[in-house]
Chains A and B, each alone.
Chain A
């Protein structure tokens, strides 16, 4: 098993659909992150979970809803998305949620909103 696994790798959905992105880490880490990566823009941190508790919500619209049932799994529930939400969504993990900790990234879910 690779360190951080994201599914699906690609997702196309309409603006009225509801879907979920899944992330699983096999590194024994306690912190997990969601990032949005758009072309020519810096990675945007969306959410941080530390020991299953949300420690950061970076002013993310409520149409994105995270869920962290345990330290190994992280979900991003999507509903009523907008075309500008099309991007690569990356999950990452680290030992704990500290900024100097190296982060291990998954390969992302490429999301396209029709």
Chain B
């Protein structure tokens, strides 16, 4: 069982479509980060959320932290081929020794 479950594992959509990916846990996180990793590159931090219910926007990307701080979602509006990549969530929880733990990621492919 993974500490952070990401779903779906793989998503293939057409350019212009909207999508949501999820990051879920049974544990409470003090903070949660989202990274994007493009093919052949390392992960790049997109956002950090720390407050339950918090919503952050980064252009066409909307990040939400659940009220109970056990889950998070990433919504992309009008996806573009440049959004293709592996989306990773990572969180810090007392239950895991306050260390940053990662999910396995969602692979997103946006076709033109």
Contact = CB atoms under 8 A, between A and B. Distances in A.
B102 A100 contact: no
A43 B88 CA distance: 9
A6 B4 CA distance: 27
> How many B residues touch the partner, as a band?
20 to 34
B42 A106 contact: yes
Q: Is the interface of A mostly helix, strand, loop or mixed?
A: loop
B41 interface: yes
Nearest to B9: A40
Contacts, number: 49
A24 B55 CA distance: 35
Between B90, B102, B103, the greatest number of chain A beta carbons within 10 A of the residue's beta carbon is seen for B102
A100 B31 contact: yes
A107 interface: yes
A102 B9 CA distance: 24
Contacts of B88: 43
A99 B44 contact: no
14 contacts: A40-B9, A42-B4, A42-B101, A42-B105, A43-B88, A43-B90, A92-B42, A99-B99, A99-B100, A100-B31, A102-B33, A105-B35, A107-B41, A108-B41
Interface of A: 4, 6, 40-43, 45, 56, 90, 92, 99-100, 102-108
